[in-house]
């Protein structure tokens, strides 16, 4: 066993929250120069472990040693000073400051109290170049796309002497090319001996870039495996602790479009967002939208929901021309919309699960007609059970739930209103495999019950598996509408996206 | 078991505000003999506590409206000015009456005052909800301009009216009972019923908690915000009537001066976040009572006039510190420390974790 000494070793880590044992006796280690994936369903304890490691939480039991010396962190600052850097899912930088300022914020080169701007820019450019990032460091950070901001966050985190880098779901808002670029940077850092802890829900990515993985389930360690020794199916089974028949059962489920047209758009468009498009959605039909990030998927959904105003075209619902100039109008016509940004456009984090669930229904009834308490509790309990929201406590603050459960709360909010058309924008992003399968199953059963769905996802396989019709978007244009069938494959969709040719 | 109940009680939202209020009241006892005594004199309720309640009426009312506005994610700086406008408008009408005792005349004056408050609230609401002006800027306009309007109404003079008219009842006694206290009770009940028996409270909290999510869920946020500002204007106008009735005069320069800051303070002491979202009407009432009791205490214990404001500031800081869980943990840990190791030794590891959580 010529394994090098771990740069980081955590043994017997336990962490208790009121009513929940988030981690019990978990061991974890990181070797220098490796990329190590931390895997588990939502609520398995991944984020708790990361937060213990970064000093956000104090551990109840267990030991952490860094380079063989025992350490104890009681604040994020201490953890950072010992050489553990973290980049979170959301970029935590200041978009109004320049790239250079962001990179060196808090450690600016100074002379007699004054910042040496030239030196600041030089050093920042140097650090950026070290991971192969060449950009104008004197431009404001906000001028760059999210992916570059993410890389800048990594430059900042790595700094001069980070030994351990934690990447907490850094890829969830990046497109394929951007992910590739991030992986390049990760490999480069790895070659320099940095130990990287990589948290991601995208299994393909883990197989592409990681060396080893540690799997958690219900706050306990399942095991540590080299990536080459565990295939995806085995991995998923270890993560959810049961067989994966459910996901399999859905594949090959393709039915012809049923029912009359429910919603039809004619030349609906908005300048700078989406070119005018014609789209029809039938009763009981699942229409999937495929396309790269920024191709206009979300924009077209927002027009249908009245979240943004259209500046051309018209919408017909049940063959009658309607005006969808606000969400209120769209909701009145039976349209519901789950935004891709759960936190900023979906949840009201201070309110309870119950309040979040009834919000849409209550808004539709108006403030003078509160839902009677008994009816409200019954409805909420019904949907909490049906969607298996955990914890099944309607009084819990929704902000404390895991991503998958927050998504279920949002689904419940709209299902309770019994919409005719449900628009789901990336409903499975950033949630675990188990919850993902449940949401996919739900889409199928809703459509079988006659509800129409507009399903947006960056994962082609998912769109292919669930949709009757697939709309392909490219450069803010709806370029093709393909009826799903046995001959429609991911490759063919990709080809359409790439060539822009309709069928 | 009782120990546990006690612990649960200390964790209740209102525990620390109520504790502070009780403590403030107790401080008064050695300085004012018979502080808690309430008796009937000449058919009227009398006593220090009754006085505190009467004097607290304007600030309770203003803070009540402020709570709803703050819950929507806004703020209303104009309440002091609105208070002055309402008082000025009512007093002007009464002073022009030939018979100031006429009940119908007084009712019209009250309607004019309240109407002025509604108009001011609607103006604020229109700026914020209709035009999208930032609340602090939008209401600053009326805060500054409103006092000018009030002075215009009174032509820069202090308008005085007869004190023994039906108008005097608003700030005085009605059937032996302080009328303003009745008004507080009515308005608090109205606010609670309006927000908690309907869905208005939930929708306000949603709009304040996440404005964009609320829009996408189909809440007519503009309407909700407009209602909050109008209610706030109405509360301020009512406070203005009480104020003018008390003084039998309208003083546009000084009526309700800085009351907006006391009201915001009361809302915050009551546990409502200035960022909007969750709001607590009961907490606001306690907060307003704390501020009024503090004012009263400053006088009774004989703090020199020039140190009034500093003393008040120190007390407010103290109240906030007491409400901060981090601060309490620090102070109470120091006291609890000597006994902690013994507990940890005797009990299973689970107890050790709970004692650590307190950090």
pLDDT tens digits, B84-105: 999 999 999 999 888 888 888 8
Average pLDDT over residues B17-33: 89
The confidence band for A110, taking pLDDT boundaries of 50, 70 and 90, is: confident
Average pLDDT over residues B193-201: 94
CB atoms within 10 A of CB B83: 34
Instruction: Provide the CB-side half-sphere exposure for A131 (13 A, CA).
Output: 26
Q: Strand pairing of A195-199 and A35-39?
A: parallel
Do the chains contact at A355 and B214, CB–CB below 8 Å? Answer: no
Do the chains contact at B210 and A362, CB–CB below 8 Å? Answer: no
Do the chains contact at B224 and A344, CB–CB below 8 Å? Answer: no
Q: What pLDDT score does A255 carry?
A: 57
**Structure token digits, residue A309:** 């105003």
Nearest chain B residue to A302 by CA: give it. B216
Do the chains contact at A359 and B202, CB–CB below 8 Å? Answer: yes
What are the DSSP E strand ranges found in chain B?
A: 39-41, 44-46, 159-160, 173-174, 177-178, 249-250
Q: Is the pLDDT of residue B351 over 80?
A: no
pLDDT per residue over B247-286, tens digit each?
A: 888 998 899 999 999 999 999 999 899 999 999 999 999 9
**Structure token digits, residue A220:** 């306990």
User: Is the distance from CB of B281 to CB of B192 less than 8 angstroms?
Assistant: yes
Do the chains contact at B213 and A371, CB–CB below 8 Å? Answer: no
Average pLDDT over residues B160-178: 84
Q: What pLDDT score does A205 carry?
A: 84
Q: What pLDDT score does B164 carry?
A: 80
Tokens 């009780």 map to which residue? B22
Do the chains contact at A351 and B209, CB–CB below 8 Å? Answer: yes
Q: What pLDDT score does A173 carry?
A: 67
DSSP H helical ranges for A266-402:
297-305, 327-332, 342-345, 353-365, 373-387
User: Is the distance from CB of A424 to CB of A410 less than 8 angstroms?
Assistant: no
Q: What pLDDT score does A254 carry?
A: 54
DSSP H helical ranges for B193-275:
200-209, 211-216, 221-247, 259-269
Average pLDDT over residues A152-165: 84
Q: Is the pLDDT of residue B293 over 60?
A: yes
Look at A104 and A233; give whichever has higher pLDDT: A104
Instruction: Tell me B339's DSSP state.
Output: G
Question: How close, in Å, is residue A494 to chain B by CA atoms?
Answer: 32
Q: Is the pLDDT of residue A245 over 90?
A: no
> Of A216, A203, A92, A231, which Cα lies nearest the Cα of A153?
A92
Nearest chain B residue to A354 by CA: give it. B202
Do the chains contact at A348 and B206, CB–CB below 8 Å? Answer: yes
Do the chains contact at A368 and B217, CB–CB below 8 Å? Answer: no
Rounded CA-CA distance A445/A128 in Å is: 49
**Structure token digits, residue A41:** 């369903």
Average pLDDT over residues B297-319: 85
> Per-residue DSSP letters for A340-358?
S-HHHHT--TTSBHHHHHH
Question: How close, in Å, is residue B323 to chain A by CA atoms?
Answer: 19
Do the chains contact at A327 and B218, CB–CB below 8 Å? Answer: yes
Query: Could you tell me the CA-to-CA distances from A14 to A29, A88, A225, A292 in Å, in that order?
Result: 15, 23, 21, 41
**Structure token digits, residue B111:** 């309607």
For chain A, the residues whose C-beta falls within 8 A of a C-beta of chain B are: 16, 18, 58, 60-61, 305, 307, 327-328, 331, 337, 339, 344-351, 355, 358-360, 362-371, 413
User: Cβ contacts (< 8 Å) between B210 and chain A: which residues?
Assistant: 344, 347-349
Q: Strand pairing of A286-290 and A312-317?
A: unpaired
Look at A345 and A295; give whichever has higher pLDDT: A345
Nearest chain B residue to A360 by CA: give it. B217
Q: Is the pLDDT of residue B335 over 80?
A: no
Rounded CA-CA distance B86/B199 in Å is: 30
The confidence band for A218, taking pLDDT boundaries of 50, 70 and 90, is: confident
Between A57-61, A237-241, A453-457, A468-472, the lowest mean confidence (pLDDT) is in A237-241
Between A169-178, A470-479, B20-29, B164-173, the lowest mean confidence (pLDDT) is in A169-178
Percent of chain B with pLDDT over 70: 91
**Structure token digits, residue A73:** 């962190």
Q: Is the pLDDT of residue B196 over 60?
A: yes
Q: Strand pairing of A164-168 and A84-87?
A: parallel
Q: What pLDDT score does A256 carry?
A: 56
Phi, psi of B210 (to 5 degrees): -160, 95
Torsion sign (Cα): B247, B252, B258, B264: positive
Q: Is the pLDDT of residue A326 over 50?
A: yes
B-interface mutation test, from A363, A365, A376, most B Cβ less than 10 A away: A363
Question: How close, in Å, is residue A306 to chain B by CA atoms?
Answer: 9
Q: Is the pLDDT of residue B290 over 70?
A: yes
User: Cβ contacts (< 8 Å) between A352 and chain B: which residues?
Assistant: none
Torsion sign (Cα): B276, B280, B283, B284: positive
Nearest chain B residue to A334 by CA: give it. B218
Angle among Cα A49, A54, A58 to the nearest 5 degrees reads: 70
Question: How close, in Å, is residue B177 to chain A by CA atoms?
Answer: 34
Long-range contacts of A489-497 (CB under 8 A, 24+ apart): A489/A464, A490/A460, A490/A461, A490/A464, A493/A290, A493/A460, A493/A463, A493/A464, A494/A460, A496/A472, A497/A290, A497/A291, A497/A292, A497/A295, A497/A472, A497/A473
User: Cβ contacts (< 8 Å) between A415 and chain B: which residues?
Assistant: none
Model pTM score? 0.75
Q: Is the pLDDT of residue A501 over 70?
A: no
Look at A243 and A128; give whichever has higher pLDDT: A128
Q: What pLDDT score does A242 carry?
A: 58
The confidence band for B167, taking pLDDT boundaries of 50, 70 and 90, is: confident
Q: Is the pLDDT of residue A77 over 70?
A: yes
Question: In this complex, which of A18, A339, A351 lies closest to B216 when CB atoms are compared?
Answer: A339
Q: What pLDDT score does B352 carry?
A: 33
B-interface mutation test, from A367, A410, A413, A417, most B Cβ less than 10 A away: A367
Between A338-342, A378-382, A410-414, the lowest mean confidence (pLDDT) is in A338-342
Rounded CA-CA distance B220/B215 in Å is: 7
């Amino acid at each position: 066993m010529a394994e090098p000494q771990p740069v980081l070793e955590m043994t017997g880590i336990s962490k208790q929250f009121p009513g929940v044992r988030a981690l019990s006796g978990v061991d974890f280690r990181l070797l220098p120069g490796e990329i190590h994936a931390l895997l588990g369903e939502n609520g398995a304890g991944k984020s708790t472990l990361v937060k213990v490691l970064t000093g956000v939480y104090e551990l109840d039991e267990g030991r952490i040693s860094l380079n063989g010396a025992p350490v104890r962190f009681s604040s994020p600052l201490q953890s950072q000073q010992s050489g553990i850097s973290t980049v979170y899912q959301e970029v935590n930088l200041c978009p109004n400051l320049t790239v250079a300022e962001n990179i060196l914020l808090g450690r600016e080169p100074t002379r007699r109290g004054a910042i040496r701007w030239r030196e600041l820019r030089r050093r920042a450019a140097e650090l950026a170049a070290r991971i192969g990032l060449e950009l104008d460091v004197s431009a404001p950070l906000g001028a760059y796309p999210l992916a570059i901001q993410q890389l800048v966050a990594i430059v900042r985190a790595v700094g001069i002497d980070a030994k351990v880098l934690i990447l907490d779901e850094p890829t969830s808002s990046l497109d394929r090319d951007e992910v590739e670029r991030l992986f390049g940077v990760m490999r480069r850092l790895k070659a320099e001996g940095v130990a990287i802890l990589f948290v991601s829900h995208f299994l393909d990515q883990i197989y592409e870039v990681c060396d080893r993985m540690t799997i958690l389930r219900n706050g306990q360690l399942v095991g540590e495996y080299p990536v080459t020794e565990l295939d995806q199916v085995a991995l998923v089974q270890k993560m959810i602790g049961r067989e994966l028949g459910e996901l399999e059962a859905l594949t090959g489920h393709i039915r012809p479009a049923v029912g009359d047209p429910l919603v039809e758009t004619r030349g609906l468009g908005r300048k700078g967002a989406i070119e005018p498009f014609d789209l029809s959605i039938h009763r009981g039909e699942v229409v999937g939208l495929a396309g790269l990030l920024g191709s206009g998927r979300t924009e077209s959904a927002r027009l249908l929901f009245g979240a943004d105003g259209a500046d051309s075209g018209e919408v017909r619902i049940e063959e009658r021309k309607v005006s969808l100039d606000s969400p209120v109008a769209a909701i009145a016509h039976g349209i519901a919309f789950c935004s891709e940004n759960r936190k900023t456009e979906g949840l009201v984090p201070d309110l309870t699960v119950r309040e979040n669930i009834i919000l849409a229904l209550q808004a539709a009834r108006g403030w003078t007609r509160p839902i009677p308490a008994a009816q409200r509790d019954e409805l909420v309990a019904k949907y909490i059970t049906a969607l298996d929201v955990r914890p099944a406590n309607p009084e819990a603050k929704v902000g404390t739930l895991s991503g998958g459960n927050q998504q279920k709360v949002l689904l419940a909010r709209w299902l309770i209103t019994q919409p005719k058309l449900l628009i789901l924008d990336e409903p499975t992003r950033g949630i675990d495999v188990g919850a993902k399968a449940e949401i996919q199953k739900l889409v199928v059963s809703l459509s079988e019950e006659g509800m129409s769905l507009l399903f947006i996802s960056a994962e082609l396989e998912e769109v292919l598996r669930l949709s009757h019709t697939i709309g392909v978007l490219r450069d803010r244009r709806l370029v093709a509408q393909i009826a799903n069938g046995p001959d429609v494959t991911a490759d063919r969709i990709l080809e359409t996206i790439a060539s822009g040719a309709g069928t | 078991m009782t120990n546990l109940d006690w612990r649960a009680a200390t964790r209740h939202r209102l525990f620390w505000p109520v504790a502070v209020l009780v403590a403030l009241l107790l401080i008064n006892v050695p300085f004012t003999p018979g502080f808690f005594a309430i008796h009937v004199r000449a058919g009227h309720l009398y006593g220090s506590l009754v006085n505190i309640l009467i004097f607290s009426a304007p600030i309770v009312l203003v803070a009540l409206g402020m709570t709803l506005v703050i819950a929507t994610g806004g703020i209303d700086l104009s309440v002091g000015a609105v208070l002055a406008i309402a008082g000025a408008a009512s007093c002007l009408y009464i002073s022009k009456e030939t018979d100031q005792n006429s009940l119908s005349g007084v009712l019209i004056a009250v309607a004019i005052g309240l109407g002025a408050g509604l108009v001011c609230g609607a103006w604020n609401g229109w700026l914020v909800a209709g035009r999208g002006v930032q609340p602090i800027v939008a209401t600053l306009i009326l805060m500054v301009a409103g006092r000018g309007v009030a002075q215009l109404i009174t032509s820069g003079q202090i308008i005085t009216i007869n004190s023994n008219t039906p108008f005097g009842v608003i700030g005085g006694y009605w059937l032996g009972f302080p009328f303003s206290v009745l008004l507080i009770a009515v308005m608090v009940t109205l606010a609670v019923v309006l927000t908690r028996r309907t869905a208005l409270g939930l929708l306000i909290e949603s709009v304040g908690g996440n404005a964009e999510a609320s829009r996408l869920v189909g809440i007519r946020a503009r309407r909700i915000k407009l209602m909050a500002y109008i209610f706030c204007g109405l509360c301020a106008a009512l406070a203005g009537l009480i104020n003018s009735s008390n003084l039998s005069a309208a003083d546009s320069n000084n009526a309700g001066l800085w009351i907006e800051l006391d009201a915001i303070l009361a809302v915050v002491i009551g546990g409502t976040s200035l960022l909007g979202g969750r709001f607590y009407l009961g907490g606001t009432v306690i907060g307003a009572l704390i501020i009024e009791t503090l004012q009263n205490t400053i006088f009774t214990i004989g703090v020199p006039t020039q140190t009034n404001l500093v003393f008040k500031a120190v007390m407010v800081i103290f109240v906030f510190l007491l409400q901060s869980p981090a601060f309490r943990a620090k102070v109470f840990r120091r006291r609890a420390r000597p006994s902690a190791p013994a507990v940890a030794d005797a009990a299973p590891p689970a107890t050790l974790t709970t004692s650590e959580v307190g950090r």
